[in-house]
Amino acid sequence: MKKTSGFTLVELLVVVTILGILVAMVVPRLAGRTEQARRARADSDIKGSLALALDLFELDTGKYPTSEQGLAALRAQPPTVENWRGPYLKQDPIDPWNNPYRYAYPGTQNPQDYDLFSLGPDGVESTQDDITNWSKSSG
């Protein structure tokens, strides 16, 4: 008889079963991490890169962009703004859920400063899941 190498059906079933058990243990641990990572990125954008770009704009021009100029003023010089040394951002400010970040100056939550926020995963303004540059009061 000629001996051939290969896997038997039982060996293949054992390997598939082991892989199935490993997947069943790992997938639940990873579920929900995507949303957590998106929220962390939005928070980092708002409190980091976008805040820095707005501060650089203010440093160069002497004032923050108006609500009407919005965050677009960080990419292209508004007609009435002097001493603009941008662009301050390389790409349009889009949150992890593919919605534009919201901006207002002067802010309603930060009257002496600006409001900068993402509507979060639901895309609707609410106090539950929006990511903001102000601290939310409980209540």
What percentage of residues in the chain have a pLDDT greater than 90?
A: 52
Delimit the domains of the chain by residue range: 35-126
Q: Is residue 138 over pLDDT 60? A: no
Residue-wise pLDDT tens digits, 66-86? 999 999 999 999 999 999 998
**What confidence category does residue 139 fall into, taking pLDDT thresholds of 50, 70 and 90?**
very low
Pick the CATH number of 35-126 from 3.40.50.2300, 3.30.700.10, 1.10.10.10, 3.40.50.300: 3.30.700.10
pTM of the model: 0.73
How far is CA 110 from each of CA 17, 45, 117, 132, 135, rounded to the nearest angstrom? 57, 18, 12, 11, 10
Nearest by Cα to 102 from 89, 90, 115 = 115
> What contacts 67, CB < 8 A, 6 or more positions away?
103, 104, 105
